[in-house]
A and B are shown apart, each in its own frame.
Chain A
Amino acid sequence: MPFENFDLTRDYLTHPREKTPVSTIPAVKGVDETQATQHARLPAGVIHEWLTTVDHKKIGIMYIVYALIFLVIGGIEATLMRIQLAVPNNHFVSPQVYNRLFTMHGTTMIFFVAMPIMFGFGNYMVPIMIGARDMAFPRLNAFSFWVSAFAGVLLYFSYLGGSGLYAAGSAPDVGWFAYAPLTAKVFSPGHSTDYWTLSILLSGVGSIGTALNIVTTTLCMRCPGMKLSRMPLLVWIYLVMGGLVFVTISPLTAAQIMLTLDRYLGAHFFDTQAGGSAVLWMHFFWIFGHPEVYVLILPAFAFMNEIVPVFSRKAIFGYPAMVAASVCIGFISLSVWAHHMFTVGLGAAGNTFFVFATMVISVPTGIKIFNWLATIWGGRVVFATPMLFAAGFLFQFLIAGLTGIILAVAPFDWQLHNTYFVVAHFHYVIVGGILFALFASFYYWYPKMTGRMMSEKLGKWHFVLFIIGFHLTFDFMHIPGLLGMPRQIYTYEADRGWGTWNLIASIGVIFQIAGVLCFVYNLVSSYYRGKVAGPDPWDAWTLEWSTSSPPPEYNFAVLPTVRSRRPLWDLKHPEDPDSDYEI
């Protein structure tokens, strides 16, 4: 009976699928033997359990589900924008509505899709991978999640409450970087901008809380033998990411406090009439904004670091260099923010400095690309769905990084700033890079999280459709950028030669939607009908695969002790353990 079998609600220990004799690793039996029986619970109890849980795995899954819901919402907004832009002088939506769409799309995608989904995977993976039973502060963890969740709802409530309940339909329309003084009360009357500010302020609190948890967990909760130098790269990167969150989200929080003071108490931080500076907001925003994009891409790198080796059947090439590169990226990314401001008139010296800092980032990033390449080299690449998406990531991130370098050339940026070339650049990184890495990790870790494999067939459909859609949309978006098409415009003139390219870009979205639908369908149907995964379906090497799928509430019956970076490799190849080679 399907419900008997696949009810997430029960204690994992009593889960029938646990009884499948899948364990090939002797150690896993240890878990099986500790099983205790518990009586099944009623649905109300289930909901109560999820609402009140402090288990890092459940919170992780809630983050992920929450982000997926917002991905669909943000994607629908994107679709509406693409319909509007498909042809010149279109009247599908009004300028006001369009401006709200891209503001909400950008804000949603960054703060309520990308951030939470990264925290979701971090929440789930970090403790298991370091052999811990939970996060350092489980209650803080739940608190952070609920604060972030509330923030997303608050943002969308603006559609109802933006200018008071009577004037429904006014979401913020200031752009996701909300340049002052457009956000001042004079230029943005009503409350839509307040919803934007407050929801970001709140989501920032949640992010800082979760990052604090991740860092503390990593530093204080490792199982015996899990030295820093033995941690999986994923955990290392989450450590760096957590550190970055402290120093990037906080400035944003500070800036939002200032904006709130301006809007509510009549302060003058960004009031140009009172001598305030519009450029100060830009600095504050991008001091957050730039490292933020590395906060997002670093976990994507982290997923690659786990997936590429497993599907190439080789250890990661150059572990110490990978760690060093991540740390370098973290530090350098703090000093490049003004490459978003090459056109505000910083002067020759300022521009030159930021050109240099920006370009330097390509060195550690390049190290990563090349190390993945070397990991694959001489391996035995298994093209399961996770690896397909990983391969897509590698190519697309390469291109995206190179367009980043193009933008970093300040004079070139005087032409390209705020054009669709920039939009193409960052969607290439975010969709082609981050989203692909995420899809890869869904296919990779879904078996661990649910105990079921995702369908490979649907996975390949998803891959093909999405990659076609992605390239149609975002490859062709570079061209109107080079031809001078500004972003954040609700429509454009017919005589500028942008029409064809925009049409192609819009058509691509159809394929993306089809791809995402395959994916969502796969997620849901595999939960009920997927092949039983067993603890270690990919023959992988990190600790999460040593416990059952899904793991019991306390992850490990007996806390593991590790001797190397790939404990399960050592276990499977006792004749040739990793620990003999690691430096």
Chain B
Amino acid sequence: MSSASILPLEPSGAQAPWTQPYRGTVGMACLIIAESAIFIIFIVAYIFYLGKSLTGPAPDQVLEVPIVGTICLLSSSITVHLAVLKLRQAKLRAFTFWLAGTVILGTIFLLSTAQEWYRLIYEKGLSLQTNLFGTTYYSLVGLHASHVIVGLIMLSLTLLLALFGRVNEHHLEKFDTLSLYWHFVDGVWVVVFTVVYIVGR
């Protein structure tokens, strides 16, 4: 081995191709880990306080399973995935279509949550201050909803750009990262849904 060949400042071109993961994906993965930890704490609090409220109402008295919203949110994972596929194939029309579908489905979910909260607050008299159940329920579901809102804002921005023809296949990696976030939001809902509406009821 000649001394020149181990020069630390040798131009990189001389080497075999050197590939590393895309930083957006890694960054998003990190964010997801951190966010998961936050959700876990809220979920633990929810489970820990199940049945510990000193006053009513209890979950089984007031909660109704949000089937429509859940179906919409879960299928939005599929649509966003399709959008990524289409973008990869550079089919921008189809991409915009599926992206719009995702935004609509997400919005329906959000509306169904809003409607459920309205019912709970004004009809069932359950608020954040009512009891431990109210405290943990609103904070957990609210935390998730706030993530949906953030995701929706980003998706809508992308949609807007797409409608103005500003998105093309070169943005694939970025959009892929965004879709990762959206899948995460969906995945969290599966857990929250199971804990709140199935186990906790």
Contact = CB atoms under 8 A, between A and B. Distances in A.
Contact of A136 (B18, B23, B131): B23
B195 to A, nearest CB: 15
The 8 lowest CB-CB distance pairs between A and B, nearest first, are A574-B3, A250-B37, A254-B41, A560-B8, A246-B34, A224-B18, A567-B8, A266-B129
Contacts of A215: 26, 30
A250 B139 contact: no
B34 A560 contact: no
A222 B129 contact: no
A313 interface: no
Nearest to B34: A246
A561 B12 contact: yes
B57 to A, nearest CB: 14
Contact of B132 (A219, A275, A561): A275
Interface of A: 26-27, 30, 131, 136-137, 208, 211-213, 215-217, 219-225, 242-243, 245-251, 253-255, 257-258, 261, 265-269, 274-277, 280, 284, 287, 543, 546, 556-564, 567-568, 570-571, 574, 577, 579
Nearest to A28: B9
Contacts of B135: 261, 267-269
Nearest to B22: A220
A543 B8 contact: yes
Contacts of B26: 136, 215-216, 219-220
Nearest to B42: A254
Contact of A574 (B6, B14, B54, B136): B6
A277 B35 CA distance: 24
Interface in B40-59: 40-42, 45, 48-49, 52-54
Contacts of B198: none
B32 to A, nearest CB: 9
Contacts of A223: 12
B45 A280 contact: yes
B27 interface: yes
Given A265-B129, A577-B1, A275 B52 contact: yes
A564 B27 CA distance: 27
30 contacts: A27-B9, A131-B8, A136-B23, A136-B26, A208-B34, A211-B30, A215-B26, A216-B23, A216-B27, A219-B20, A243-B33, A250-B34, A250-B38, A255-B41, A261-B135, A265-B129, A267-B139, A269-B136, A275-B132, A277-B48, A277-B49, A280-B48, A284-B41, A546-B8, A558-B10, A558-B12, A561-B9, A564-B6, A571-B6, A577-B1
A543 B6 CA distance: 13
B37 to A, nearest CB: 4
A245 B131 CA distance: 33
Interface string B118-143: 00000000001101100110010001
A563 B3 CA distance: 12
